[in-house]
Structure 1
Amino acid sequence: MTDDEMPKGEEDRFMGVPITDAFAQAAAEVLREYREMVEKSLGRAEENEEAPCLAEIASIISTPKVGMARGSLYAMLLEIAGMSFDTALDHVKALEHDIVRKPPPVWSTLVMTRAVLESFLFCDYLYDPSISGALRLARCAGLWRKDMDHSANLAKVLGQDDEIAEVDDYVTKALADCGIEARRGASGKITGYIVDGEASNLDFNITERARNRLPEWLPMPYGLLSGVAHGRPWMTDRARIASKGKEGLVGEAATVMTAVMIVMASMDMCLRSLQGYFGYELDAALAELKEYRELMFLRLVDLANASE
């Protein structure tokens, strides 16, 4: 494809216009206000006495022989899920600044958005209110083992092979103390864990989870974000088309709008998991966020189209 050719159907791309200062400022402000609304709603949330998390804690600590060990694993689960939530918010804050930079961003907004989505999906995976406490612990065990595998690979690169066996022994013993059984493949390699009959893999399929967990009003976004993050021409070529033959790449309002929509959807998803698992009363907050979101979508579309 040459620079002046345009694929069929691209002539009328939604918001396929350059990013203006007015649009960028408004989009960044919308993200900031939405994030602050989410943080405020969680800051005043309290656990319900009938919250699933409380029943799970009671079940964990009362489990014969392994209750204390499982309690330690559950504490790790809370820590890493909370860290993932905070990491997602940190990326959102960075995105708020990236949107308004000069010259306007081309693809960095969507790369940051992928980081936001993945961190919120990680948090949602552990706080998912629809699963049992046993499966939750199995998921945590799998993620812990997977992270240890990554750490071991790094240790090999750094020449710290002696530490690998030590860490592996620690994780193996800690999970055994919890009464958690390893699942193994035909080669004998660990593929997941089983807790009281509930089985989980070492990790989760991000694409599949994004498809199943994000709100229905958002089309499946993960493939698009991956195309940008991996620098695939089928996606990045859009920036050449937007430049209309001029030298260099030009960012479209559509990329910023996509980022805003996915970030909002990711926050909404995670809030609903927190509501379900911890029993937070967030109905009013979620309704307020929905109203704000719909109003701001219309405003941003108008601002983007005003530049045409």
Structure 2
Amino acid sequence: MTEDVSPESVSFTVPITTRFAEFVAQALGGFRVLAADGFPEEPIFAADFPFKREVEAHRALPQSVGAARMSLLNMLSKTSQLLWDNALDHVRALETDVLMTPPPVWSPLTLSRTVMENVLIHHYLLDSSIAGGLRLARFAGLWRTDIGHMGKMADALGHPGATASTASTDARANKLLADAGIRERFNAKGKLIGHEVDGDNARLDINITEQAGKALPTWIPAPYRLLSGAAHGRPWMIERARMLAQGTDDRLVGEAATLMTAAMVVFGSLEVAVTTWQNYYGADLTTVRREMETRRTQFPRQAAAMVNAVEA
């Protein structure tokens, strides 16, 4: 066990060592497995949690409307699972990325940003604090936005089959949303801007920056802005790696602080996702959440002790 040292007393603005990279990779892998394997083998939907209440509310509606809303809720649940699986896949990729030789520079932040974005959309859909109508309105907007992206891609490729498939999906969405009683909202120029369900309005697509401010823990400072600077290759951000490379034969040098940031963003994101699952579906994940918190709080001190030992 690495001796605890206060993270505030150690600078992580140092090059990445093999030992430090291995430590981070192991921590990420353990955290991912803990999060992925913490769910009960059989799904548990507690009666006093939003999912069960919303199912009962949909089934109490006239048959055609209730059936359409249940179809949308099932699609929403499958989409949230897809987002979760994709987030875990990128954590797995990050575990390998940090072990590269020579060490990575900005790719860890790009991978962790994908984890964070998937979790933010996951939370946007399953947020236990919102009404069931707003949940469906949010999903309707995401679905229609994705169909729009599919259409643009089909047009760019000039592929008749892709265009026909997108048109079919669009028609299906129009019918299902209408059957569910979901009203489209337009601006003064006639442009679709969102949806309304039972008096609750949602915009056409998620605002990731806004969602990051609401859903992520406050101990992750401005994560979306920071990670976007790296992912989009903005000079103000990536210039730092050139400065660290001065006096070496390398053009860019990755630093331990980058791995620390990537790991903490992943830890916080996965904690949000697991909490969201529990609060919406009612599965008891308290033990898993407690262990995740313990590992996350220990990580900076263990990392600081390792860097401090190397510097000494």
TM-score by length of 2: 0.91
1:18 is aligned, of 15, 19, 23, to 15
Question: Is the contact between residue 47 and residue 53 of structure 2 (CA under 8 Å) also seen in structure 1?
Answer: no
TM-fit CA distance, 1:13? 9.2
- Identity across aligned pairs (percent)? 43
Aligned equivalent of 1:49: 47
SS at match of 2:67: helix
Contiguous gaps of at least 5 residues in structure 2: 1-8
Compute the RMSD of aligned alpha carbons: 1.7
Q: Alpha-carbon deviations, 1:6-36, whole Å to 9, x = none?
A: xxxxxx9941000001100000000111111
Cα distance in 1, alignment partners of residues 216 and 294 from structure 2: 18
Cα distance in 1, alignment partners of residues 307 and 88 from structure 2: 26
Aligned equivalent of 1:62: 60
Aligned equivalent of 1:181: 183
The one-letter code matched in structure 1 to 2:278 is Q
1:36 is aligned, of 27, 33, 36, to 33
TM-score by length of 1: 0.92
Cα distance in 1, alignment partners of residues 57 and 117 from structure 2: 30
TM-fit CA distance, 1:233? 0.8
Cα distance in 2, alignment partners of residues 147 and 126 from structure 1: 15
SS at match of 2:193: strand
TM-fit CA distance, 1:302? 1.8
SS at match of 2:185: strand
Question: Is the contact between residue 108 and residue 259 of structure 2 (CA under 8 Å) also seen in structure 1?
Answer: yes
Verify: 1:276 aligned to 2:285, yes or no.
no
TM-fit CA distance, 1:82? 0.5
TM-fit CA distance, 1:160? 4.0
2:219 is aligned, of 217, 220, 223, to 217
Cα distance in 2, alignment partners of residues 252 and 277 from structure 1: 38
Aligned equivalent of 2:294: 291
Contiguous gaps of at least 5 residues in structure 1: 1-11
TM-fit CA distance, 1:244? 2.5
Deviates more, 1:234-243 or 1:41-50: 41-50
Question: Is the contact between residue 17 and residue 307 of structure 1 (CA under 8 Å) also seen in structure 2?
Answer: no
Cα distance in 2, alignment partners of residues 97 and 91 from structure 1: 10
The one-letter code matched in structure 1 to 2:244 is A
Q: 1:164-243 alignment to 2 at 5 Å?
A: 164-243=166-245
SS at match of 1:182: strand
Question: Is the contact between residue 58 and residue 70 of structure 2 (CA under 8 Å) also seen in structure 1?
Answer: yes
Aligned equivalent of 1:300: 303
Question: Is the contact between residue 83 and residue 118 of structure 2 (CA under 8 Å) also seen in structure 1?
Answer: yes
TM-fit CA distance, 1:46? 3.3
TM-fit CA distance, 1:49? 3.0
Question: Is the contact between residue 15 and residue 305 of structure 1 (CA under 8 Å) also seen in structure 2?
Answer: no
- Which consecutive segments of 4 or more residues in structure 1 shift more than 6 A? none
